[in-house]
Amino acid sequence: MNSHVEAINAYKDKGLLIDTNLLLLFFVGLHNRKSIQRFKRTRQFIPEDFDCLTSLIQLFKQVVTTPSVLTEASNLLGQLPEAIRFSVFQRFSLAIQRFQENFTPSRELAQERYFPKFGLTDAGIVHGAKGKFLVLTDDFRLAGYLERHGIDVVNFNHLRTAYLLGQ
C-alpha cells in the first residue's frame, strides 16, 4: 500500500492484527496512562502513544490476534507489579472475548521459511495476515519483511510521530 491511510481504509472492515508490544501498551494504558512509562515492557512509549493506538483501533471492525501473541502478552503482563496486575488481567480477559483469534498450528509455522528468522509469534503473524488483515507492529525488522513480501503493514513508529506532530 502507498500510504498508511490507504492501508487503514482498505482493511477497516477486515481487521487489524496487533503485535505483542502494542497489545501491552494498550492494556497497560487502559489501566492507567501513567503506568505506561513505569512498566519496563512499555517504557519506550508515552501516554500519547496510547491515545494514537486507541484512536487507530477504533477505526477497525475487529482486532485480530494469534494464540502466540496472546501468550506472549499474557506472560509479559504477568511481570506487572502485583498492585495493578489483577486489574490489567481483568481487562485483558474481556478483550480476549472480543478479539478474533487467527490460529495456525505451530507445526505448520515451524516449517515456514521465515520461522528460523522470526520464531513462532512473528511467524504466526506473517502466515495469518497476507491479504486478510493489516498488521500493526513497532518491530522494524518484522515490518520490513512484511513490506518486502507484499503483506500490508503499518509501522507504529511512523504513526506515533505523525500523531505527535498533529498530522
Could you give phi then psi for residue 84, rounded to 5 degrees?
-115, -10
Report DSSP letters for 53-91, one per residue: HHHHHTTSS-EEE-HHHHHHHHHHHTTS-HHHHHHHHHH
User: What Cα–Cα distance (Å) separates residue 110 from each residue in 8, 13, 146?
Assistant: 30, 30, 18
Q: At how many degrees (to 10) do helices 115-129 and 140-148 cross?
A: 60
β-bridge mates for residue 134, sequence order: 16
Q: Going residue by residue through the chain (167 aa), what tens digit of pLDDT does each one get?
A: 448 889 999 999 999 999 999 999 999 999 999 999 999 999 999 999 999 999 999 999 999 999 999 999 999 999 999 999 999 999 999 999 999 999 999 999 999 999 999 999 999 999 999 889 999 999 999 999 999 999 999 999 999 887 777 76
Domains and CATH numbers, the chain: 4-164 (3.40.50.1010)
What's the angle, vertex CA 17, arms to CA 138 and CA 102, rounded to 5? 135
